[in-house]
Amino acid sequence: MLRAAQGDRQAFGRLIDATRTTVCSIALAVVRDVEASEDVAQDVYLHAWHSLPTLRNSSSFVPWLRQLARNRAHAFLRKENPARRRPLDAALETVLADDRPGPETCLLERAERDSIREALDELNTDAREVLILFYREEQSVRQVATLLDLSEAAVKKRLERARNALKEALDRGLSATLERTKPGAAFSLTVVALLPPLVPAAAVASKGALAYLGTTKLVAILGSILLSSVLGLAGMLFGYYRLWRRARDEQERRGLQRLALWGSVSLVALVAFMDFATGRRATPILAVLWYGLLLAQIWYQQYVAIPRITARRLALERAEDPLAAARQAREKRNCNLGFVVGVLLGSLAIAYAMWRHG
């Protein structure tokens, strides 16, 4: 399973081989349509292919796959046009009407096929699951119990109820259909052929599943703050432009221009570093480190560099205007508030992304 989570198609194909009968049988028990059940099973495996890297416990794979098959089968019934489906009863009729040599061709007459249709309607989904798997797993109660995570006693009880509903002759006819429609190797090959790329081949060769999971988590976390960083860059440049317009001499303007250039370059460098690190060491700690460096850069500009560059002008304004000191104090409070709010929002974004993705 670890190799499959890394994007190894052959490994995932082996998982399909081991579970296809269970998945197709569960789907068939719900949709009662052989062809549709295989369509549902394909959908289940395609979903599993995408979701497998997020599955933390390999022992939960089969129970998760069983429940996924049930959910997808019920979703199929809700959205699919019933007129397009070929019921299990019709598939049974096809087998029974086959004129090729075989024991199934002489089991039932037309009246018996009608009885089968009525009997199948009386079976609940749990009974159909057990009955279908029983005949597709060489009539092994133990194997059915293992696949469905039930006790052997529970399997026997459900089988007994299903057989009582179908009666012996109908049971034999249905068993022929179920054995004949059991998914084979061609089903696995078809699903594997439909699998889209999951992880680049180089990543499969060089990274483990934990590294891939870390990369997925890291990308999600970065996505929550990269957009705000771009917006922050635009806001920073706009702020420098306002300061530049208020500058009184060329020295202050040049200082602000140099600081704006340094701030922009350092932000781009931080983003480039994050992109470089993502491909080599996938861990959310890097995202937190990156955010810390970004905050340090903003703090330096706001509380060290800008006050140093604008100190002479601010002193002149206070000397010329008695109200300037109060205005400057108000602007400083607003600036401090903006910094604190920005830090809190950014921290909440990272915390939410880490919680949401893992």
Q: Which residue has the higher pLDDT, 109 or 344?
A: 344
pLDDT at 109: 45
339, pLDDT greater than 60? yes
Q: Which residue has the higher pLDDT, 223 or 40?
A: 40
pTM of the shown model: 0.43
Q: Which residue has the higher pLDDT, 307 or 209?
A: 307
Query: What tens digit of pLDDT does each residue of 86-139 get?
Result: 555 555 444 444 444 444 444 444 544 455 455 556 678 888 888 888 877 777
37 burial via Cβ count (<10 Å: 0-12, 13-18, 19+): buried
Mean pLDDT within 29-45: 85
330, pLDDT greater than 50? yes
How far the first Cα of the chain sits from its last, in Å, is: 20
Residues contacting residue 15 through CB under 8 Å, at least 6 positions apart = 1, 4, 61
Query: What tens digit of pLDDT does each residue of 65-91 get?
Result: 999 999 999 999 888 655 445 555 555
Confidence of residue 202 (pLDDT cuts 50, 70, 90): very low
Domain boundary assignment for the chain: 2-190, 209-356
pLDDT at 264: 80
Between CA 171 and CA 134 the distance in angstroms is: 11
Tokens of 324: 């300037």
Task: Report CA-CA distances (Å) from 26 to 19, 67, 148, 292.
Answer: 11, 9, 9, 50
Q: Which residue has the higher pLDDT, 206 or 4?
A: 4
351-357, long-range: CB < 8 A, 24+ apart: 352/224, 353/220, 353/221, 353/223, 353/224, 353/225, 354/217, 354/221, 354/284, 356/220, 357/216, 357/217, 357/220, 357/221
Query: What tens digit of pLDDT does each residue of 11-32 get?
Result: 888 888 888 888 988 888 888 7
